[in-house]
Structure 1
């Protein structure tokens, strides 16, 4: 399983940040930028990715060891080659990161704007057409539970006092992305055998 706890910390106004305590003992901080929304965008990402089973989206990437440019390590010690691993994870997850952004954005809008499921699906089809030529892998039966889950999370978030947090556990499996080791022969042959 994911083994990562994410705490969304409320600041004054609609400001927040999130701390993700990964299974490897490292805690990273994700700054919050969306000061106009009542629901943190990163919370919408968490819920949408969880509900749609996106293991290679933003939070799945963080759980796997990705460190995006706006993030900082706040505690723990990263493993050797953490920067290379992070780059490989982000590269390997690139398509799913785009998909998760579309899913999170649409689900976030659905709750913030109280949209009907058919409107949510239409918006999602519009985003999906930009991301992929494949058919949309989501139907109305998938959208409604995700929107309802974000509504419940939004209610929990609204009850969090300033300077306190809402902690959620990442429930999805973490994908291990292999990182090429520096200094090893790439051909598979020993250097002695040459």
Structure 2
């Protein structure tokens, strides 16, 4: 999936998402006060941490957030129901992605030299007291990736990035549909 980050007419950021099914959607940002676009922080963090169920993996699978708008293409006949199932199935991962991307965003935005790994571990522990599932190297990769993407963003004012196919969320099957053969009596 191709994602193009650009400045919007409001001074914020807009991410134009070109999905594999031919549908093109826009995801407006609400980040005029930051030099680093928040949705770009999601992109870098979710990609580095292999989060298929985050914002961009969910969008690639067909989810549509309330603030998104259709630009072109023809959505599937069951797009609203499918999108709702994807968002519901990924609810926990989306929450984690918001928290983790927020920490990575803050670190890159402020240039904070503090070790990022403990900050991410603490933020994660608020939502999930279980063991932290990522390595410190992956966290560092997210910071490096966002730093590099931000430099390109600032130099060019637009940014074209590709979401990996292996990080597309698996859509859950529709509810109430039975599959397979019925038992014979």
Q: CA deviation at 1:146?
A: 1.4
Q: Does structure 1 conserve the Cα–Cα contact (< 8 Å) formed by 2:53 and 2:169?
A: yes
How many residues align? The count is 184
Q: In the alignment, which residue of structure 2 is the partner of 1:17?
A: 14
Give 3-state SS (helix, strand or coil) of 1:80's partner.
Answer: coil
Q: Does structure 2 conserve the Cα–Cα contact (< 8 Å) formed by 1:117 and 1:144?
A: no
Q: Gapped runs of 5+ residues in structure 1?
A: none
Which of these residues, 169, 179, 185, is aligned with residue 173 of structure 2?
Answer: 179
Q: Which has the larger radius of gyration?
A: 1
Q: Does structure 1 conserve the Cα–Cα contact (< 8 Å) formed by 2:100 and 2:124?
A: no
Q: Whole-Å Cα distance in 2 between the matches of residues 185 and 61 of structure 1? A: 24
CA-to-partner distance for each residue in 1:85-106, whole Å, 9 max, x for gaps?
A: 0000001111111111122111
- Residue range with higher mean Cα deviation, 130-139 or 88-97: 130-139
Which of these residues, 98, 101, 107, is aligned with residue 101 of structure 1?
Answer: 98
Question: Normalized against structure 2, the TM-score is what?
Answer: 0.89
CA-to-partner distance for each residue in 1:74-129, whole Å, 9 max, x for gaps?
A: 100001110000000001111111111122111111111112352x2232222212
Which of these residues, 100, 105, 126, is aligned with residue 130 of structure 1?
Answer: 126
CA-to-partner distance for each residue in 1:143-182, whole Å, 9 max, x for gaps?
A: 2221111111000000124xxx311110142233133277
Q: CA deviation at 1:23?
A: 0.3
Q: In the alignment, which residue of structure 1 is the partner of 2:23?
A: 26
Q: Whole-Å Cα distance in 2 between the matches of residues 181 and 90 of structure 1? A: 14
Q: CA deviation at 1:131?
A: 1.0
Q: Gapped runs of 5+ residues in structure 2?
A: none
